[in-house]
A and B are shown apart, each in its own frame.
Chain A
Amino acid sequence: DAKTTQPTSMDCAEGRAANLPCNHSTISGNEYVYWYRQIHSQGPQYIIHGLKNNETNEMASLIITEDRKSSTLILPHATLRDTAVYYCIVREVTNRDDKIIFGKGTRLHILP
């Protein structure tokens, strides 16, 4: 089962920052938080990942709370092309089985 919960859908105005929350209250110390997105009918795309510290790359920023029980993905200036389903994933690590388990994700609609 997925170890994360996310809102089913969100709207964001074009040009504004999109803040997508994720709860992962049972995360363990060595597990990373990953974010992917899937644009309609395409394979998922990696966005960002982190362990404890906040992370930023050319696509987004990831803010992880101090207790690591939740995180927020921030798309600083959303465009229409950011309309997609966003998945927050906590990686399970059991020996060699580094599974990636997807939840239902958040469907983000960018409004013109």
Chain B
Amino acid sequence: GAVVSQHPSWVICKSGTSVKIECRSLDFQATTMFWYRQFPKQSLMLMATSNEGSKATYEQGVEKDKFLINHASLTLSTLTVTSAHPEDSSFYICIPWKGRREAFFGQGTRLTVV
């Protein structure tokens, strides 16, 4: 299967700081990147969809100014959680996607804001 690298796998940050999460597709070019978050004991919720070179499309209820997504190349997308607060503590997962194929998920990033 495809190799997806998501970094960091876990991070603890202080309230008010920003955290950047990277997602790389190592062996294919992803024209689309999906970002999800998952709160404990809940399902994965789609946050935003980004296509390379264009602005991300955010799902209803997701603040675009708080969750900055950059999809600068076909192999790299970043999600920056700005001014993080404890309620942003969650498991964040990326899916680089190309066409009709199976999805390979990043390993996820567990963010804890203290």
Which chain B residues numbered 80 to 114 have a C-beta less than 8 Å away from chain A?
Answer: 91, 93, 95, 97, 100, 102-108, 110
Q: Which residue of A lies closest to B49 (CB)?
A: A97
Contacts of B106 in A (CB 8 A): 43
Interfacial residues of chain A within 74-102, with CB under 8 A of chain B in the complex? 87, 91, 96-102
Once bound together, how far apart are the Cα atoms of A30 and B17, in whole Å? 44
Contact count band on B = 20 to 34
The secondary structure that dominates the A interface is loop
B103 to chain A, nearest CB (A): 6
The list of the 10 closest CB pairs from A to B, nearest first, reads A43-B105, A46-B102, A43-B108, A102-B44, A102-B43, A44-B105, A43-B107, A104-B43, A43-B93, A43-B106
Q: Chain A interface (Cβ within 8 Å of chain B)?
A: 32, 34, 36, 38, 41-46, 49, 87, 91, 96-105
